Amino acid sequence: MKKSKMRCFAVILTAAMTGCFLAGCGGTPSGTQKTEGQTEAAQERVTDAKSDASEKVYPSMQIDMACNNSNSPDESLLLKFAELVEERSSGSVTAVVFAGTLGSELEIDEQIRSGTVHMYVSATSTISTYAPDYNTFSVPYVYSDRDQVMASWQGSIGEGLRQKYAEAGIYTSGDTLFIRGMRELTSNKMVKTADDVRGLKLRLPSTAEWVTVWSKMGANVATISSAEVFSALQTGVVDAQENPIISNHDKGLQEVQKYTIMTDHIVDMLPVIYSKKWFDGLDPDTRELIKECLDDATDWANQYAIEVTEENKAEMEAAGMEFIEVDTSSFKESALSCLDELAKNWADGVYDQLMKDIS
């Protein structure tokens, strides 16, 4: 698998360049044209932002951004943000994307806290590390769809999480959330029930809740960074991993995995985080510009992920990967048997609020 490369954007990021890149990621064009993924609210923000652009002058600056993998939906989100922020600032604000080159998830978190990196499409390990007492989002089979996740994210659970983040030097938006789809298990061994997981060498990120749940099923868990997943599977260090279809496709896992087991165990959400130290040093107009562009880019990326998932699945099947539909009841039963244990780590009232959010 090709090593990830740093992607830098010059002062002028043309629509043609962006369109060419995104065509390589799944065929969805980008640029100054409106996308189908923009919500009505996002379209209103675009109109307002263009109107304000002629009135406001922004300081010249560069935003350093990171994601875990190149040629990924995470990177596509940042590309869209780079396009929007440069356009709306009349070129005063530019962006550089470092894709899979700055270390592990937790190492990039530390760079965000110090202000060395400004923005990052983070992993759930960030929540597990800095806001474990509000991390309902990492328990498999708790949430069944996007609406339930957003109810918690925009409600009191999300508010508590964001307060914990701020105390650690991290900001994230409460208005939008990047959701890539459902996480599925991929494996070189056939898995149809939770019993089949026993003894499976399974790669996971360093998300404590996931390690607890999959270990309960009997998996031999190895925590490996996202950028090293392909090589770990290729060399047999692990037999299996789990991620959304769109991520599995972009990593090229159809080359090293036989099966995608449709476990649908997690609604995969990736908060875009940004450095409190850096953001607090910006003027109010620039802060508002960045928030608006980030929200609009996230809205776009959510629609993009939905559109390309089925395309990616078809391409993976054509390459020989089998998609196995399974009865998820045994997986769900095993996972939720850990809920009481995991809930002991949550703040007062979080469990009760979670039950309301998913009802």
Start-to-end C-alpha separation, the chain: 43
Low-confidence ranges of the chain (pLDDT < 70): 1-54
Cβ-based neighbour number of residue 250 at 10 Å: 22
Cα-trace Rg, the chain? 20
| Distances, alpha carbon 303 to alpha carbons 49, 181, 244, in Å | 21, 10, 15
**Strand residues in 252-338 grouped as ranges (E):** 259-270, 272-275, 322-325
> What single DSSP character describes residue 92?
S
Distance between CA 295 and CA 49 in Å, rounded?
12
- Residue 12, judged by CB atoms within 10 A of its CB (0-12, 13-18, 19+), counts as exposed
Q: What share of the chain is helix, strand, coil (3-state, %, to 5)?
A: 50, 20, 35
234: tokens are 């290729």
- Residue 266, judged by CB atoms within 10 A of its CB (0-12, 13-18, 19+), counts as buried
Q: In this predicted structure, what is the pLDDT of residue 226? A: 85
Q: In this predicted structure, what is the pLDDT of residue 34? A: 36
Task: Give the SS3 label for residue 36.
Answer: coil
353: tokens are 């609020």
Give which of 149, 204, 150, 182 is closest to 309, Cα–Cα. 182
Q: In this predicted structure, what is the pLDDT of residue 2? A: 39
b/e code 182-201 from CB counts within 10 Å (16+ = b): bbbbbbeeebeebebbeebb
> Same fold for the domain at 6-180+268-307 and the one at 181-267+312-357?
yes
Task: Return the H-helix or E-strand segment holding 177.
Answer: none
| 181-267+312-357 CATH | 3.40.190.170
What are the extents of the domains in the chain? 6-180+268-307, 181-267+312-357
Q: Give the contacts of 204 (CB within 8 A, at least 6 positions apart).
A: 210, 211, 214, 221, 222, 223, 224, 241, 242
Give which of 21, 104, 33, 98 is closest to 62, Cα–Cα. 98
Could you tell me the sign of the dihedral formed by the alpha carbons of 339, 340, 346, 347, in that order?
A: positive
Q: Give the contacts of 228 (CB within 8 A, at least 6 positions apart).
A: none
Could you tell me the sign of the dihedral formed by the alpha carbons of 24, 311, 247, 289, in that order?
A: positive
Q: Is 26 left (phi over 0), alpha (psi -120 to 50) or beta?
A: left
16: tokens are 């043609």
Q: In this predicted structure, what is the pLDDT of residue 123? A: 84
Please, are residues 211 and 132 in contact by the beta-carbon 8 Å criterion? no
6-180+268-307 folds as D-Maltodextrin-Binding Protein; domain 2 (3.40.190)
Q: Angle, nearest 10°, between helix axes 156-167 and 146-153? A: 60
> What single DSSP character describes residue 60?
P
Which pLDDT tens digit goes with each residue over 156-202? Answer: 999 999 999 999 999 999 998 999 999 999 999 999 999 999 999 99
Q: In this predicted structure, what is the pLDDT of residue 69? A: 85
* Beta-sheet strand order (sheet of 201-204): 220-223, 201-204, 240-244, 178-187, 259-270, 322-325
